[in-house]
Structure formats: structure tokens, C-alpha cells
Amino acid sequence: PPSPPQPPSLPLALCRAFSNNKILVELDESSGVATMKFKSPPVNSLSLDFLTEFCISLEKLENDRACRGVILTSAIPKIFSSGLDITEMCGKSMEHYAEFWRAVQEMWLRLYGSNMVTVAAVNGSSPAGGCLVALSCDYRIMVENPKFSIGLNEAQLGIVAPFWFKDTFVNVVGHRVAERSLQLGSLHPTPEAHRIGLVDELVPEDKLQEKAAAVMAQWLALPDHARQLTKSMMRKAVLDRLVAHREEDIQNFISFISKESIQKSLRMYMEMLKKKKS
């Protein structure tokens, strides 16, 4: 059986450069389960800083023999993660776009390819990149709340989900559901998200932690080695595809995002968000 993919290590300098302030990491050594709690107000958007901290935290846990599983959840009410930070994609230099996109790729390569058991405890809405984070875990539990929604809604903003977002989505919900959902940029309310298989289970908010711990225990009951090799076998083709086209994917992102029409619609979207707030 093939060994799981090994993304290149982040330089150690990065570890020192960023203090851990956007993600709260707690490791329960008795169970071997860590929790990564997103606390980057207002909406846990995936900024370059957030992504870098995410990768460093995940790598530390990955290399910590006391840790066998991670639960991802949010410390901010009503939102799991709002997805990629639009300010990182607007009015910045080519170099910045490249650095940002590489960090998005890195986050996904590490999370989708993680040797640990990964459970998303989705306690709020989770559009676009936030949905990708959940999709990349082994299991998704979502709080049953008609106001929460989840989906890869990029098309709504006039942008296109990259092929590896799509591959990850297809692996979860199948080709037809993905085709329709991606083209419509659907944000699925929780019951629908459950029905189409985007999330595995719905629970009341006050049962989320308990349920996540129970699911984690069920997955950790398996011998790590066999489970890891099996996971790698299921995900390798899709991971390898990005690894093989990584630089091309960065160039695609840069040339797409730096188009004046795209920049304009992102600026309008940000204006709209600002007005909404005030």
C-alpha cells in the first residue's frame, strides 16, 4: 500500500514568527484528542495569518505522538468559518496573491492528507473555504439550526472553485450533487446539507461536543496504521493531482484574481458586507 503523501515541511522560522492567537489548540493527552478552536473575529476568515497558524498547529499535532485525532470547531457564535479572506485577494501584489494561494493549498494538503482522525464540529455557517475545511475532515457533525448553512458558493461571487475544492466535494457528495451545487453556488441549510451527504450528522448545539468526542472515540478504536493507509488510499489520487499541478494552479489563481472585472466585483462585495454591518 502506498504511503500517505508528505507535504514539504514549513520552515522552522515560521513557527517562531507567528504566535498562536487565531486558533486555540488544546490537547487532551489522556484521550489523544486535540481541539482546534477558531477564534479570529469577526468571522474566522481564512487570512494568510490564519492559514499559516492553522498549518503550524496541525503540523505540531501531526508530529506529536500523544495526539491521534483533532476536532475542528469555532469559538465564535454562529460562524464556523466564512472562508477565504477577501481582503487578501483585493488590491494586493502578484507576490502576495501567490503567497496567499500557496497557503490555501498548504492548508488543504495537510488537512485532507492528515494521518490523524479529523472531525469537523460545525457550529455555525460555513461558506466557501469554510466548507472546504469541513469537507476535508473525516467526519462532519453540524449543529441543527435552520439559520446555519454550508456550501461552496464561490459561483455566487462570480468566482470559480478550484479543481481541488471540486474534487474534494465530489468525493463527499458525488458528481451530480456537486455539479448542481457548484453551478448554483448553493449554500445548503442544515437539513438539506444532511440530506445530500454534505454533513454526516445533525445535532442540537448543546450536544455537539459530546457527539464529536463520541465519533472521535469510534474512529480511534481502529489501529492507527491500517486506518491511515486506508485513508491515504482513498484520498491519494486527489491529493496527488494538486501536488502535480501546484504551480500551475497558483498561476491560474493569480491571473484570474488580478483581472479588473474580478477585482471590481470583489470590491463591490466588500462594500456590501461593510454596509450590512453598519
Active-site residue list: 84, 129, 153-154
Cα–Cα distance for residue pair 224/211, rounded to 1 Å: 21
Is residue 202 a contact partner of residue 142, using CB atoms and an 8 Å limit?
yes
Is residue 50 a contact partner of residue 22, using CB atoms and an 8 Å limit?
yes
As measured in angstroms, the least distance from the Cβ of 165 to its own copies is: 10
Cα–Cα distance for residue pair 16/9, rounded to 1 Å: 14
Does the CA dihedral 98-104-109-114 come out positive or negative?
Answer: positive
74-to-14, 39, 142, 189 alpha-carbon distances in Å: 24, 6, 12, 18
Q: Which is nearer to its own copies, 10 or 90 (CB)?
A: 90
As measured in angstroms, the least distance from the Cβ of 266 to its own copies is: 12
Q: Which is nearer to its own copies, 18 or 269 (CB)?
A: 269
As measured in angstroms, the least distance from the Cβ of 107 to its own copies is: 20
As measured in angstroms, the least distance from the Cβ of 24 to its own copies is: 27
Binding site for its own copies (CB under 8 A): 1, 138-139, 154-163, 166, 170-176, 178-180, 182-185, 197, 200, 218-219, 222-223, 225-227, 229-231, 233-235, 252, 256, 265
CB atoms within 10 A of CB 128: 26
Q: Which is nearer to its own copies, 38 or 164 (CB)?
A: 164
Q: Which is nearer to its own copies, 31 or 232 (CB)?
A: 232
25-to-39, 50, 85, 159 alpha-carbon distances in Å: 10, 13, 21, 32
